Structure 1
Amino acid sequence: MNEDYFIKRLSKLREKLMGKNLEAFIIANPVNCRYLSGFSGSTVTLLIGLKEAFLITDFRYAQQAQEEAPLFTLITSGPTRSSLEKLCKDYSFKNIAFEQNYLTVYGLELLKGSLSDVNLIPLYRTVEELRVIKDPLEISLIRKAAQITEESFEKILPFIKAGRKEREISIELEYLLKKEGGEKTAFDFIAASGKRSSMPHGTASSKIIEPGDLLTLDFGIKYQGYCSDMTRTVAVGFVGEREKDLYQLVLKAQLEALKHIGPGITGETADDFARKLIAGRGLGSNFGHGLGHGLGLEVHEEPRLAPGIKTILKPNAVVTVEPGVYLPGFGGVRIEDMVLITDEGLEMLTQKHKEELLIL
């Protein structure tokens, strides 16, 4: 664990608390807990004060928490709400924030019952906002996840052939990603061939890949908690002119967006660079999702690149750029890469094997 990065994250959070006259923050979202503490267990609640930092879990995770979160005082005795109640009394906390976008109504009622003498203040996506801008440690881990993903795609290419089932390719790709160093899949892989490739989220099925099929693969892994996400569309056996034309349209749309994306533009503007080109071919309604999304500890994070999104891109955010066109009854194409927003523009984290439609 590089403690300096976690000290800086806690400092930024405490600045936000002080700005709102809050004394502490209860955090129960495991992803946010990992971001702030380094603890990767699934049973966790943090109580972060202006000076104090407590990690509440149970005995199963005691050793793990000590190793992963040395900046936090570990508490493993008793129910979480009882521990929170005791800590609030011991440290005279009166104005405490909670995660408005994570805590359920029922959970809030229980918390109010335990902390009857405390003012509970809702904060919306406060830690998530901090997570948008990646620090050097996070960027190095995301870059490694992207490298593993790109190398694994290269290794799956000889395995893709007519007669294979979509599910076989998905399973083999998962094996390769883990063999290369991935911890686990970042999401359920998409492997959609032939007419099924017109389904943007067509998870792998028992369909057999046939000569002439387009095959869209959308896949990613987690490396030390950080996600990758990449999509490539290939053809199997042979390809028609309509498929080639569709592929070139999507590639051109992605390259046009990549040419302009950088710090200072909004998610809406980024999306528009690709969308206008596709709409100009009369296929705007066939590009039904946003151009991209942020990724880090989660595969879908802020910022979003999509119509109506006024959020401004800033340096050290990581986003995907993934235009797609989907024609029901025929097929579809999507090309997705990961990029790091820099001071000058962007850095490609994935970019191989897309210059032309691969025929396998």
Structure 2
Amino acid sequence: MRLEKRPSPSRTAMVAAPLGAVVFTLLISGLLVLWAKAPVGATYVELFKGAFGSLFALSETMTRAVPLILTGLAAAVAFRARLFNIGAEGQLYAGAVAAIAVGGMHGGTGFELPIYVLFPLMLVAAALAGAAMLLGPALMKTRLGVDEVVTTLLLNFVMLLLVAYLLDGPMKDPMALGWPQSVTLQSDLELSRLIEQTRLHTGLLMALVLAVLTWLLLQRTTAGFDIRAAGANAKAASFAGVPVTRTVVLVALLSGGLAGLAGAIEVAGRTSYLTLDMSPGYGYAGIVIAMLAGLHPLGVVAAAIFVAGMQVGADSMSRVVGVPNAIADVIVAASLLSVLVASLLTQYRLRWK
């Protein structure tokens, strides 16, 4: 048996592949539900209701989707240029630290900036902090050939240790009664609510705008063409005149900046302060989201909402039906594998010898 590249994928295959992936995912997950001695239909219904079945459920899903959209965009942009950014988790925390440093560490200075200056300054600082964390590994890859997967992954743990130090030292909130959390943002810097009496904030609109702008950058600009060319074949792109090193640096700044903004928006929109457990793995989930979306910026939005829905709906499903929350993780993982295999089969076909 061997794989043979198709001359041109048919439209039928392009439509049938994702549908087949969904069906396969539901079947595999249904077997686990049966193993847990729960009704499959009721389990899926409760999973959907817990994520989208009410205004509150929908608002919680969309709130969870905001950082996932941004980390998914960060991974998608980097992967387009074959810069495998595994450090979005650390970059998110770097952005959150920068946001607190600008918008929270303001007491006793005797000098206050107006909010309309301080808020964009906070976002810029967060983006620069995230970009700086990825710039080093990107330069090490282009100049020294160092594997960026290792460096970006290890920097996640360095950043978490730095956050732990800051929360017990310079950024510790003296009013937190010993709890390891930072000082809070100024109330004027917090994002407003899109729906009253919910946690859904205007960061969702910012994430959607960034998704559209990222798509326009990749599809409608010369820089976007350079990014796609460098990702397709760096040597051929360099021979054709594409500045590969400069393109990789640009991608690093953009990818790290998006992940840093995720940290700032999470602080300003949801928590108002920084803790060590602020992110339940948004940076790592962004990699899954980018792959589910086929590295398409607009597809990242849909994939992020799907993953957020699975995470939020799992709690309701577990309470009502009595199955483990981990089944939601299995659904996401099976979806990723199914989509990857389906995408492979649209480009290649199996030939039997």
TM class by shorter chain equals: under 0.3
Q: Radius of gyration: which is bigger?
A: 1
Which structure is higher in strand share? 1
Normalised to the residue count of structure 2, the TM-score between the two structures is 0.27
